[in-house]
Amino acid sequence: MGLEDVELIMEVENYFGIKISDAEAGQVKTVGDLCDLIKKHVGKVIEEKVIVAVGYRCKGCDYSLKSLPQRGKCPECGLAYCCVEEIETVVVKIIRDLFFVSKKEVITRETDFRRDLKFG
């Protein structure tokens, strides 16, 4: 893993409150791979009841979470939530911000970190 890979994984771990092993990180080749890995880890957190609501509506009280941050606590009932539907958008934003990738450059699930973004 190169420095860019390490920086990206650390930023993703911090943002989503997850831990990605070096072995898992080493298997990530594309933006889609990273998004799928995040979804897997966020799913584990949900199962462990650290995050108890997923999506745009709170599962505790049905409050709309659409205009709120990606993760946090519901202002109505206090349950933790994470809007996993937006993981890809967040990952692309992190990549653009962290590595100064122009908005003119298209980043999709198929974008390869080494071939397309010149990581490593």
pLDDT digits (tens, 9 = 90+) for 62-108: 888 888 887 778 899 887 777 655 788 889 999 999 999 999 999 99
Percent of the chain at pLDDT exceeding 90: 48
Distance CA 113, CA 117 (A): 5
Distance CA 12, CA 105 (A): 21
The mean per-residue pLDDT over the stretch 28-55 comes to 73
pLDDT of residue 45: 57
Contact between residue 54 and residue 82 where contact means Cβ atoms under 8 Å apart = yes
Neighbour tally for 88: CB within 10 Å: 19
Question: With bands split at pLDDT 50, 70 and 90, how would you rate the model's confidence at 51?
Answer: very low
Distance CA 120, CA 28 (A): 12
pLDDT of residue 101: 93
Which residue would you say has higher pLDDT here, 120 or 114? 114
What are the tokens at 74? 């519901």
Q: Measure CA 17 to chain center.
A: 9
Q: Given strand 53-54, what is the order of strands in its sheet? A: 53-54, 80-82, 71-73
